[in-house]
Amino acid sequence: MPRPESRPPICDYEGSTYRSDFWEGKGRGYEDRVERIALRRLLPKQGRRLLELGAGFGRLTSEYDAFDQVVLVDYSLSQLRYAQDKLGTSGRYIYVAADAYQLPFRAGVFDAATVVRVIHHIADVGAALRELRRVLVPSAALILEYANKRNLKALYRYSRGQQTWNPHDLQPVEFVELNFDFHPAYMRQQLRDAGFTTRRSVPVSFFRLPGLKERVPTPILAGLDGLLQLTGLHYAPSVFTQNVAVGTSPNNLETSALFVCPETGEELKQQGTTLLCPSTGRRWAIRDGIYDFKAPLDE
């Protein structure tokens, strides 16, 4: 697992007020509820260890109670501290600051992973999916959500000449820096190329309209959305996919030694509040229970 000479740009929520500015008290109870409906439909009924990539402040982590252990990964230390404050410091939750392109884990240590409201910030989708496949055991479940460029609003705006990009084009569109929308066929191909088979695809958030959310109670909208999720009409702004890792790969699910050097792939040795790579001498910090792999201590 050599360290890449250069990685794509990374969206960093470090120090942001994403939790309070976007979610808490901001009228997004509908979005939160319908995403939980989709997750409950697609998640395995039980499992050993789940990787939550892009966990943020732990908004959805309570949905993973069927797993013995949950590893929350986010590039932002501050978001992980919010999650830690909310979820606690028991051994059931492990908090890791790292990026999607270079996960500091041994191959095959997870039997499930979730990626929700994350892939739309990923510049190199293929590289991120291949790295996810590396750390999953064969037949592991991957629940991945993406922003759908072929949604009803985009189709309408394009038909009226109100937007330049074509929602039918298969290539991603970057409408704001490091914010991408994806065509369903593009995502299916990317998943296939990375070693996944898509078993189910669920459109979500049909009623993501401020005026409608203000007028119709959230439980009613969420209930209607839950029914529309079953139709397979992939014209909603969000799509949840249920995927299975295929092919042969290591199975280290029973190990408790999760961490390896991001540069060499060697098992790391804990020394106090650091993790040491034996061959390179590089160290990564453990900051108040959060494993910090954003950069080694000597950089």
- Give the amino acid at 129: L
Which ranges in the chain belong to alpha helices (H)? Answer: 18, 29-42, 77-87, 125-135, 152-159, 184-194, 210-215, 218-228
Taking the CB of residue 44, how many other CB atoms lie within 10 A of it?
Answer: 15
**Residue listed under structure tokens 């997750």:** 39
What integer pLDDT is reported at residue 27 of this predicted model?
Answer: 83
- The stretches in the chain having pLDDT less than 50 are 1-4
Q: Nearest CA to 112 among 51, 192, 28, 163?
A: 51
Hey, what are 229's tokens? 């999720």
pTM of model > 0.75? yes
DSSP 252-281: -TT-S--BB-TTT-PBPEEETTEEE-TTT-
What integer pLDDT is reported at residue 7 of this predicted model?
Answer: 78
230-267 residue pLDDT tens: 999 999 999 999 999 999 999 999 999 999 999 899 99
What integer pLDDT is reported at residue 20 of this predicted model?
Answer: 74
What integer pLDDT is reported at residue 299 of this predicted model?
Answer: 67
Q: Where are the domains of the chain?
A: 18-147+176-258
What integer pLDDT is reported at residue 5 of this predicted model?
Answer: 52
User: How buried is 271 (Cβ within 10 angstroms: 0-12 exposed, 13-18 middle, 19+ buried)?
Assistant: exposed
H or E, element range at 9: none
Q: Which fold has domain 18-147+176-258?
A: Rossmann fold (3.40.50)
What integer pLDDT is reported at residue 41 of this predicted model?
Answer: 97
